[in-house]
């Protein structure tokens, strides 16, 4: 591993531990960056220490103390931090893991704007640079920098605590955390960027955060559900784009799916079933388990998928869920029944709605309407691979 | 500890509902808010609180110029205006939000939570 890789790996831990100790995100981040500089200077000459994470945390802690002494700020928190004699050993579990959990719940506090939650989580726990986060969400770097600065100022000024919420609040707050992780994953899986259809670094980061959450809160079934959902989706990544064109599920080469990820995802879904406390991520994971279970597209158990979408519609109703259920209905009851359902949905600005309609109209032989629907879908997406696929389908239509 | 300003805002949308409040409604809210205030005091979170007279009774003073100019009416012509507030002390934002939730239930209106500058 290069120093940069080690640092990236340890960044969240170092920042989380310093944030707990000093109660100040800026101090934590600056000290972590200073520790990296020392490492870059020392490690190539003296070798990487046996516990690089512990070394970085200790060095960063000393840097933070130095800085506070130098600045002689009268801030009560900083004064208090000077007095704390923190000898917490750096271990991958236990209190340090709790620090990261504290930090992720702080980043996803409901008092922060949703877009700020995503940015802060990627910055502080993922160690992504502001430029990287800005690029991922297609906003100018200055906008993203402001968003992060404002969120950090609110955490400090409003005194948002570095804390895992109490058991009674946990499920509410956890929802925000999981939503952030899933958002990061989705941005990686079907990028809104015109240049790159897939953003591996974002899907990988989301899975890493998901694994971390699962280690930290092993008894939360929705965490297992989200992790399973991401793994089962990610398992299909190698077959998802071919020749710059998006490949839909039923056309993918199932032999090239990542069996290891699928195995892990299926085990998590079974664990969720045994717990029997279904939630939306668990149901989405179960749907993906059915897809990845089928040896061929034709062998897909569409009845089960439609049932799972109905359960999902009952606990988390949305037109999007209804759209996906209609796709399963098309396989069970035919495209005409499905089209009637799809046409009722208020999703005219959503490109998968147009793409679904286009496909159903094509299957019904209504070519002119299908062509129009493909056109609307193409206009509504910026993703180049998706545009390429939709364009080919449109151009294949007979007149 | 951080000091927080919990404010209750009224707006035109709520004005119609307020006009329809009966004596019994008002009494219920007074009782609820009274009980909430007592809890704040008992737990040491209370610093100050007050309900404000209607916005029509506001007067504005501007002494940034040579001599003070006094005008009738509020500073801003916005549809929303401050109706009342609590100033509390709480360990952190979560604690303040818990108080705000209780205050909102008591006064049957939305409560905004804003920290004071620390020094």
Nearest CB partner across the interface for B93, out of A74, A76, A159: A159
The ipTM value here is: 0.85
- Give the Cα separation of A374 and A381 in Å (integer): 11
Stretch (H or E) spanning A45: helix A25-46
Task: Please report residues of B whose CB lies closer than 8 A to that of A20.
Answer: none
Stretch (H or E) spanning A365: none
Nearest residue in chain B measured CA to CA from A155: B93
- The secondary structure of chain A in percent helix, strand, coil, rounded to multiples of 5, reads 75, 0, 25
Tell me the shortest Cα–Cα distance from A160 to chain B, in angstroms: 5
Tell me the shortest Cα–Cα distance from A104 to chain B, in angstroms: 15
3-state class of B69 per DSSP?
A: strand
Nearest residue in chain A measured CA to CA from B91: A159
DSSP code for B7: E
Strand ordering across the sheet containing B81-90: B46-51, B81-90, B2-10, B111-115
Report the DSSP pairing between strands B69-72 and B59-62.
Answer: antiparallel
A105-123 b/e with 16+ CB inside 10 Å = b? bbbbbebbeebbbbbbbbb
Nearest residue in chain A measured CA to CA from B113: A158
Question: A157 CB near a chain B CB, below 8 Å?
Answer: yes
Tell me the shortest Cα–Cα distance from A53 to chain B, in angstroms: 30
Interface touch B115/A157, C-beta < 8 Å? yes
Q: What's the pLDDT score for residue A86?
A: 56
Tell me the shortest Cα–Cα distance from B53 to chain A, in angstroms: 29
Going by C-alpha positions, the residue among A270, A298, A300 that lies closest to residue A285 is A270
Q: What is the mean pLDDT of each run of 10 residues along chain A (399 residues)?
A: 80 89 91 92 90 91 88 63 56 60 91 92 87 84 95 93 83 88 86 68 88 89 97 94 88 95 97 95 97 94 96 94 95 95 92 94 94 94 88 86
Q: What's the pLDDT score for residue A117?
A: 93
Tell me the shortest Cα–Cα distance from B100 to chain A, in angstroms: 13
- Give the Cα separation of B33 and A112 in Å (integer): 28
Going by C-alpha positions, the residue among A204, A203, A225, A205 that lies closest to residue A214 is A225
Task: Please report residues of B whose CB lies closer than 8 A to that of A74.
Answer: 119
Q: What's the pLDDT score for residue B103?
A: 97
Half-sphere exposure of A330 (CA within 13 A, CB side): 22
Half-sphere exposure of A379 (CA within 13 A, CB side): 9
Q: Which of B94, B112, B114, B116 should be substituted to probe chain A, the one whose Cβ sees the most A Cβ atoms within 10 Å?
A: B94
Q: Which of B93, B96, B100, B118 should be substituted to probe chain A, the one whose Cβ sees the most A Cβ atoms within 10 Å?
A: B93
Q: State the pTM of this model.
A: 0.79
Task: Please report residues of B whose CB lies closer than 8 A to that of A108.
Answer: none
What is the CB neighbour count within 10 angstroms for residue A201? 13
Q: What's the pLDDT score for residue A92?
A: 45
Task: Collect all residues with Cβ–Cβ distance below 8 Å to A231 and sequence separation of at least 6.
Answer: A207, A261, A262, A264, A265, A268
Question: A107 CB near a chain B CB, below 8 Å?
Answer: no
Question: A168 CB near a chain B CB, below 8 Å?
Answer: no
Stretch (H or E) spanning A345: none
Task: Please report residues of A whose CB lies closer than 8 A to that of B99.
Answer: none
In this structure, are residues A216 and A97 in contact, taking their beta carbons and an 8 Å threshold? yes
Tell me the shortest Cα–Cα distance from B113 to chain A, in angstroms: 9
Q: Which residue has the tokens 């989405």?
A: A284
Task: Please report residues of A whose CB lies closer than 8 A to that of B119.
Answer: 74
- What is chain B's pLDDT, residue by residue, as a tens digit (119 residues)? 999 999 998 876 677 777 788 889 889 999 999 999 999 999 999 999 999 988 888 899 999 999 999 988 888 777 788 989 999 999 999 999 999 999 999 999 999 999 999 76
Give tens-digit pLDDT for B42-60.
999 999 999 998 888 889 9
**Number of Cβ pairs < 8 A linking chain A and chain B:** 28
- Give the Cα separation of A15 and A21 in Å (integer): 10
Q: What's the pLDDT score for residue A291?
A: 96
Task: Collect all residues with Cβ–Cβ distance below 8 Å to A283 and sequence separation of at least 6.
Answer: A225, A308, A311, A312, A315
Long-range contacts of A333-342 (CB under 8 A, 24+ apart): A335/A360, A335/A363, A335/A364, A336/A364, A339/A364
Nearest CB partner across the interface for A161, out of B92, B114, B118: B92
Nearest residue in chain B measured CA to CA from A164: B94
Handedness of CA A241, A242, A247, A253 (dihedral sign): negative
Going by C-alpha positions, the residue among A242, A247, A211, A205 that lies closest to residue A228 is A211
Question: A158 CB near a chain B CB, below 8 Å?
Answer: yes
CA triple A327-A331-A332, angle to 5 deg = 110
Q: Which of A110, A159, A163, A164 should be substituted to probe chain B, the one whose Cβ sees the most B Cβ atoms within 10 Å?
A: A159
Task: Please report residues of B whose CB lies closer than 8 A to that of A158.
Answer: 2, 93, 113-115
Interface touch A159/B113, C-beta < 8 Å? no
Interface touch A160/B93, C-beta < 8 Å? yes
């Amino acid at each position: 591993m290069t120093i940069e890789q080690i640092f990236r790996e340890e960044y969240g831990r170092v920042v989380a531990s310093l944030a707990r100790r000093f109660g100040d995100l800026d101090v934590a981040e600056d000290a972590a960056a200073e520790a990296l500089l020392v490492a870059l200077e020392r490690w190539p000459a003296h070798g990487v220490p046996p516990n690089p994470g512990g070394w970085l945390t200790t060095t960063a802690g000393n840097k933070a103390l130095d800085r506070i002494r130098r600045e002689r700020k009268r801030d009560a928190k900083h004064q208090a931090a000077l007095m704390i004699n923190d000898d917490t050993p750096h271990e991958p579990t236990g209190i340090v893991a709790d620090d990261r959990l504290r930090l992720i719940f702080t980043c996803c506090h409901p008092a922060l704007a949703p877009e700020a939650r995503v940015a802060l989580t990627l910055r502080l726990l993922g160690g992504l640079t502001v430029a990287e986060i800005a690029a991922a969400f297609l906003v100018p770097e200055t906008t993203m920098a402001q968003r992060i600065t404002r969120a950090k100022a609110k955490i400090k000024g409003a005194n948002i605590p570095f804390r895992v919420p109490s058991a009674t609040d946990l499920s509410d707050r956890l929802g925000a955390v999981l939503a952030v992780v899933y958002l990061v994953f989705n941005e990686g899986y079907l990028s809104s960027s015109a240049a790159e259809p897939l953003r591996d670094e974002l899907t990988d980061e989301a899975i890493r955060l998901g694994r971390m959450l699962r280690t930290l809160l092993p008894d939360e079934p929705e965490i297992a559900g989200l992790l399973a959902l991401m793994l089962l989706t990610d398992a299909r990544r190698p077959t998802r784009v071919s020749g710059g064109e998006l490949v839909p599920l039923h056309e993918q080469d199932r032999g090239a799916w990542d069996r290891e990820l699928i195995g892990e995802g299926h085990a998590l879904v079974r664990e969720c079933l045994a717990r029997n406390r279904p939630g939306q991520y668990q149901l989405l994971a179960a749907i993906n388990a059915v897809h990845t279970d089928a040896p061929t597209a034709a062998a897909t158990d569409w009845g089960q998928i439609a049932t799972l979408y109905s359960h999902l519609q009952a606990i988390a109703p949305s037109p999007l869920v209804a759209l996906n259920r209609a796709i399963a209905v098309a396989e069970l009851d035919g495209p005409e029944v499905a089209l009637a359902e799809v046409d009722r949905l208020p999703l005219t600005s959503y490109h998968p709605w147009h793409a679904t309609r286009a496909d159903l109209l094509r299957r019904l032989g209504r070519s002119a309407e299908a062509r129009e629907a493909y056109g609307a879908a193409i206009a509504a997406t910026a993703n180049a691979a998706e545009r390429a696929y939709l364009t080919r389908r449109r151009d294949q239509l007979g007149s | 500890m951080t000091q927080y300003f919990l404010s209750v805002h009224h707006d035109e949308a709520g004005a119609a509902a307020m006009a329809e409040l009966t004596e019994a409604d008002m009494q219920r809210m007074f009782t609820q808010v009274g009980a909430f205030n007592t809890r704040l005091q008992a737990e040491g979170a209370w610093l100050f609180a007050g309900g404000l007279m209607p916005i029509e009774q506001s007067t504005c003073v501007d002494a940034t110029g040579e001599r003070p100019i006094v005008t009738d009416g509020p500073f801003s012509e916005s549809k929303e205006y401050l109706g009342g507030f609590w100033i509390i002390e709480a360990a952190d934002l979560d604690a303040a939000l818990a108080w705000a939730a209780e205050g909102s239930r008591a006064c049957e209106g939305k409560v905004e939570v804003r920290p004071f500058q620390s020094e």
